[in-house]
Amino acid sequence: MTDFLHPMPDAHALRQCSALALAHMGDSVYELMTRGWLISSGLVTSRNLHRETIRLVCAGAQAAGAHAIEPLLTGEEQAVFRHGRNAKPKSIPKSASPAEYAHATAVEALFGWLYLRGQYDRLNELFAVLLPAAQQWAAQP
């Protein structure tokens, strides 16, 4: 049986993924981690969960987190991060600057890559560093 929750593409298949494909996966991984953290933190109403999730998964919050984790990345992780940052999406949301969106895409590509490699402990390490920066950004008026 195939495990769709924990896909493990081989190294060749993973190298074939574009930065935007990795970001596509990483977007969901990042949001799932954020939702898990919010529920673990005691938010239980769907209204509060939704509002806080939206604040923490937006491009600005992810970009703030990107700056926090960037110095901690290994050489291989830096390459994936740069690849994601330099990706050329077809559109950028009005709520984000091009620089914010580029850094958010970099985080998502990195998270997608780590997830597809099964490096869940590393994802948790980076998320723990990224989260306070994202929260601080989200708390700004």
Side-chain half-sphere CA neighbours of 29 within 13 A: 29
Tell me the C-alpha distance between 30 and 108, whole Å.
7
Which residue among 3, 10, 27, 121 is the active-site one? 27
Tell me the C-alpha distance between 70 and 48, whole Å.
30
Is residue 21 exposed (0-12), middle (13-18) or buried (19+ Cβ within 10 Å)? middle
Contact (Cβ atoms closer than 8 angstroms) between residue 85 and residue 125: no
27 is catalytic: yes
Is residue 31 exposed (0-12), middle (13-18) or buried (19+ Cβ within 10 Å)? middle
Most distant CA atoms of the chain, gap in Å:
49
By annotation, the residues acting in catalysis are: 27
